[in-house]
Structure 1
């Protein structure tokens, strides 16, 4: 469902305005303009906009027309924010230094005096009450529920700032009418009409009551599709009966046109044109049978010429030619050529890839790919904060299009208060066929865990394939690594090996059907990972490590969402006599801002009889959240986390249970939510904290 896009201050805008105020990055205008009455940030933003739009930065004086234009811009901006009766006083400074005052009349019955020439300009604004939609009465709507219909015009999705979110303006109401009409058309009501008017307004408070009248009309259903065309060589069209009996909607009409075009594209007719019109029939029991009449003009049949490339100064042409599946002399299929363009784009070394066709003889065209190569390298600084590792910073160095083969590399160094991490990855796109990428990575990590110091060094070789059916991907990799533990304070320190060389094969499958990976409100995602380590692969350790995780997100009313996360892991040592060759680094140490949130990272691991920590061989974690929007960018969450874990498989799936409940505050950013949460432990063990504050960035599961 469409929603109105409300203008809200973001942290980014606030920071930008502060920087402008502090450093003055813009040159002073020749005709100074001042705006007051909107608040410091809005005053400054509007002043800068007026200086640009009126020419005040270059002009020596502003004349009456420019002054009126500025007042109209201010009035329009205020109206769109719901201020329908603003008072704008214009104060001009004349060339002789005297001042003149004028109250702007938006009806222009009393225009700005034509003789005015301003050397300086000031706008004093009294916005008056904000008009806000407090009630909506809908008549004639049966297809949608009352609440769903009202939601197009008025939102209860946030607890705070509802006046701004529900501000009245003609433009916003018009967009709401159009959105509701689009929904009705999408459901097959081709004759629907929507009209919204003000039923009542309180000029003192700004409360507005809307009356929305809906004329749904009959539902349009396709009786049949008639296709008129001249038979063409190599063209196979879909059976038109497949569309009979379905709702006649704009989307269906697009599908019919596209299906017919595709049939001709495959036959080599790139210029095919399809026109479609509707022939309505009589209405019976609220349904109108319609006939869709499609007329097809195939255009000439065209064969493929020679694919050419422009702008590939560094990229080898052989790399590009391999992405073009059609060969000279074959029917020119625009779909296949667009697929080639997408394959070239996916190489990740071009800023843009455009495609055009040029004649190359009778009935032949050359596809020409116009390429704009990206930078050869880029360097990014990394900064962040987490509850456990606290401050962290680093640098990322990326190289693109190595050797002109579209290969890429990525170097990463990150230092935090508790860890040092470095890695270098070399990626080869489409190593095998069109869909399998290859990568090699060397890595190193040293991190102070809750009861030992983790050290890991090694290399990984992997293949990755996208799985369109799952909206995810599959990865298969081989890793050889040295796993060490230092400063070991675990209960098992007497039997833990200080270092083990591990050779393993790992398979990972993911699926992601969330509406937004950074701020999910609907859908689900899942991950399954299996890691097999064996001396047969070249190492010492022998174990089997299985993990899966998933989440589900759904709305509960307006502005409320339920989030559920579930994860499970288990390690077995089939083939080994005991656990001596099971690295400490591979055991599970739950706890933290993305786990059970009443504990810091690793603090929820099992404890031995001596009170010291143990690594778990099995765990199960359930996270449940209720999120309530406060504004468009702020929300509050209530959560409950449940953890079960076990140190021995005879206690599978878990022997110990821990629970945390808590509250959190989130601010939405372009990189995900900034989270401040407090988890209270319901049943803490001896030496466990009563609760923990968590500060982090990103959705927890």
Structure 2
């Protein structure tokens, strides 16, 4: 071991050799300072900006790329401010630290300035030291395997690919950090007096193996004792004990005592006691046989009620709009959860970058909500390009005004052109229809799309009203008025198409029960949707009753893989003797149904092979998704489904299948999917399989 004196002698003799001492930190540098002044920041030094050349000598254990990564921070420092003896010394220190963190406990590095912007780092590597036997004594609460898991936790975190303990490098700082984790483990389970020794390494004769000894004195495990309340209770003692039962049911720790204090404060504040304070005290020194008596001091204060809303920071959004979002709180008992719901409702409008709600006591026991907002830009214009297997290239335009006339109601206009046609819509939403919790949505739309064997032309108007019954259950009702026209008919005979132009009037209902953990990228939970609509005879040219349902279930298999199971079905029945128009029928096949068929091609066809659709359908899906790298995932799947011409024959006859695999690249808006589905039993005129490209979940 070389001493720091060598650095001083080197400087006095004018030499460039620098040798670092074996210390835990670089030597402190002295800065000339005036009285009462702080040392100047390093960034205040003049920059010189050069390119440092580093030569490594004797460093054979690691490739040069890793060595440079180990000193990268100091190299950038030198290139910014210049190469001098202290900076060169620090570079040696960083390289030596790199070696020691990788198991070379006796590594020493000498730094030598060999010329302008030239630095030589000479390494005496020593031997790689690996961990040997771990001996734990004094432990009874935890077995030695558990103690070893915590002791080696930091080491395993830095070397995750090494599973065998006897191949792990010995890094003193990591093992000491592991011993600290053992101390925390005992403290977290009530062993507040537990003593865990510093790890004691014993090295093999050749210095390549470090056997570790750890001595533990567990002491007493403390538990919560009787709880005594001091001060006005307001609520029954039994209710207060129930409020802290989870935190105080067994093992005593200061953290759990603090959690009990907070839980009781929340209990009071949720019931209107806005200024309530709680102080919980428990001293292990007063424990008998490990049982700690607890004293909880209560100062509930007075009970507060909401009264009024004051708004600042708004310019485009009307004050009345913000006040109405919180108006339902007026006169209600103060509850922070209600304030949080109001905050989320305002944020979810998209009208604000930030919202701050501060309850302010006024007029005795009244609380005014002071709302400070920072408005976001209300208007957006967007241009998008995309591709889908069936539609081909897509160009879309959109305009949105989230604050129409300052009312906080959104209006959106969308238009799309693709290789199959074009469509557009205007949509107005009122999430607080007539200042209730019902949402009104009104859509006017037009579609022209080339289908297989005909062109669909549709103009429609669809008002709907919906309500969230719970956080997971939504119901809605709608009215549908459309004019439909079928052109460019290639299906023969044309009578198979049904009515070619007709007005349609229908009413319907939908419901959604959604317990997925993520709507865009679900891996857990389920969704159940159903819809029914009724087109009465006499109000339009087509009369029917239709119902569809979907169920999807998502099951995590590992942390990043999951299994998805789906089932769908639908049936429509004409209420007259006239056959249903082709664009009211069900079709199957494509990226979200049976993926061995191209879009809409599964099911009955005319003599030229054009699909005719049917009055009923079923789809069943099973898909396993697994990680490949980063956000890229693979998937294997099987699908089954059918299309039934006559609703009277609804069932599982004539099922068609798909077996396939695909890739998914996960984005916040959903997965970009590329799938190939193989048709295991193709019939005459059918392909062996189909490629499908889409965005979003398959089912």
TM-score by length of structure 1 reads 0.70
Tell me whether 1:274 sits opposite 2:278 in the alignment: yes
CA contact (8 A) 1:325 1:336 kept: no
Q: Residues of 2 paired with 1:341 and 1:647: CA distance?
A: 52
Shift of residue 685, structure 1, vs aligned partner: 2.2
Tell me whether 1:457 sits opposite 2:455 in the alignment: no
Q: Residues of 1 paired with 2:508 and 2:130: CA distance?
A: 57
CA gap 1:237/1:329 in 2 versus in 1, 3 angstroms: farther
Aligned to 1:370: 372
Structure whose alpha-carbon radius of gyration is higher: 2
1:519-668 aligned within 5 A? 519-535=521-537, 538-556=539-557, 559-573=560-574, 576-580=575-579, 582-608=580-606, 611-668=609-666
**Secondary structure of 1:320's aligned partner:** helix
Shift of residue 420, structure 1, vs aligned partner: 1.5
1:507-522 aligned within 5 A? 507-522=509-524
Unaligned residue ranges in structure 1 (runs of 5+): 1-28, 108-128, 202-207
1:80-119 aligned within 5 A? 98-103=116-121
CA contact (8 A) 1:222 1:244 kept: no
CA gap 1:190/1:494 in 2 versus in 1, 3 angstroms: farther
Q: In proportion to residue count, which structure has more helix?
A: 2
Q: Residues of 1 paired with 2:693 and 2:638: CA distance?
A: 17
CA contact (8 A) 1:376 1:399 kept: yes
CA gap 1:638/1:488 in 2 versus in 1, 3 angstroms: same
Q: Residues of 1 paired with 2:473 and 2:175: CA distance?
A: 39
Aligned to 1:680: 678
CA gap 1:566/1:100 in 2 versus in 1, 3 angstroms: same
1:388-537 aligned within 5 A? 388-468=390-470, 471-490=472-491, 493-495=494-496, 496-535=498-537
Residues 457-492 of structure 1 deviation map (CA, whole Å, 9 limit, x = unaligned) = 2121122222435x2422222221222322233467
1:17-416 aligned within 5 A? 31=49, 61=82, 98-103=116-121, 163=161, 189=189, 227-232=229-234, 238=239, 240-241=241-242, 260-265=264-269, 268-276=272-280, 294-299=296-301, 306-325=308-327, 332-358=334-360, 360=362, 366-416=368-418
CA gap 1:480/1:214 in 2 versus in 1, 3 angstroms: farther
Shift of residue 313, structure 1, vs aligned partner: 1.0
Aligned length: 618
**Secondary structure of 2:407's aligned partner:** coil
CA gap 1:668/1:327 in 2 versus in 1, 3 angstroms: closer
Q: Residues of 2 paired with 1:177 and 1:468: CA distance?
A: 48
**Secondary structure of 1:324's aligned partner:** helix
CA gap 1:626/1:357 in 2 versus in 1, 3 angstroms: closer
Shift of residue 220, structure 1, vs aligned partner: 9.4
CA gap 1:333/1:613 in 2 versus in 1, 3 angstroms: closer
**Secondary structure of 1:485's aligned partner:** strand
Q: Residues of 1 paired with 2:351 and 2:64: CA distance?
A: 45
Q: Residues of 1 paired with 2:315 and 2:513: CA distance?
A: 38
Shift of residue 61, structure 1, vs aligned partner: 4.7
Q: Residues of 1 paired with 2:560 and 2:464: CA distance?
A: 42
Q: Residues of 2 paired with 1:558 and 1:434: CA distance?
A: 41
CA contact (8 A) 2:448 2:458 kept: yes
Shift of residue 547, structure 1, vs aligned partner: 1.5
CA contact (8 A) 1:227 1:296 kept: yes
Shift of residue 682, structure 1, vs aligned partner: 0.9
Ranked by relative contact order (alpha carbons within 8 Å, sequence separation 6 or more), the top structure is 1
Root-mean-square deviation (CA, aligned residues, Å) is 5.6
CA contact (8 A) 1:667 1:674 kept: yes
CA contact (8 A) 1:224 1:243 kept: no
Shift of residue 661, structure 1, vs aligned partner: 0.4
Q: Residues of 1 paired with 2:549 and 2:216: CA distance?
A: 49
CA gap 1:578/1:327 in 2 versus in 1, 3 angstroms: closer
CA gap 1:79/1:398 in 2 versus in 1, 3 angstroms: farther
Residues 520-547 of structure 1 deviation map (CA, whole Å, 9 limit, x = unaligned) = 33222222222222246x4332222212
CA contact (8 A) 2:110 2:123 kept: no
CA contact (8 A) 2:355 2:374 kept: yes
Q: Residues of 2 paired with 1:423 and 1:83: CA distance?
A: 66
Q: Residues of 2 paired with 1:410 and 1:162: CA distance?
A: 50
CA gap 1:482/1:353 in 2 versus in 1, 3 angstroms: same
Shift of residue 354, structure 1, vs aligned partner: 0.4
Aligned to 1:122: none
Residues 484-529 of structure 1 deviation map (CA, whole Å, 9 limit, x = unaligned) = 3222334673141112222222322223322333333322222222
**Secondary structure of 2:427's aligned partner:** strand
Q: Residues of 2 paired with 1:446 and 1:67: CA distance?
A: 73
CA contact (8 A) 1:140 1:214 kept: no
Q: Residues of 2 paired with 1:476 and 1:181: CA distance?
A: 60
Shift of residue 104, structure 1, vs aligned partner: 8.6
Shift of residue 382, structure 1, vs aligned partner: 1.8
Q: Residues of 1 paired with 2:568 and 2:130: CA distance?
A: 45
CA gap 1:610/1:153 in 2 versus in 1, 3 angstroms: farther
Q: Residues of 2 paired with 1:466 and 1:212: CA distance?
A: 58
Aligned to 1:126: none
Shift of residue 199, structure 1, vs aligned partner: 11
CA gap 1:441/1:366 in 2 versus in 1, 3 angstroms: same
Residues 634-683 of structure 1 deviation map (CA, whole Å, 9 limit, x = unaligned) = 33222111113311122212432101101222333333333232111012
Shift of residue 689, structure 1, vs aligned partner: 0.7
Q: Residues of 1 paired with 2:638 and 2:425: CA distance?
A: 36
Q: Residues of 2 paired with 1:180 and 1:526: CA distance?
A: 47
CA contact (8 A) 1:503 1:535 kept: no
Residues 4-59 of structure 1 deviation map (CA, whole Å, 9 limit, x = unaligned) = xxxxxxxxxxxxxxxxxxxxxxxxx972668999999xx99x98x999x8597xx6
**Secondary structure of 1:238's aligned partner:** helix
Aligned to 1:700: 698
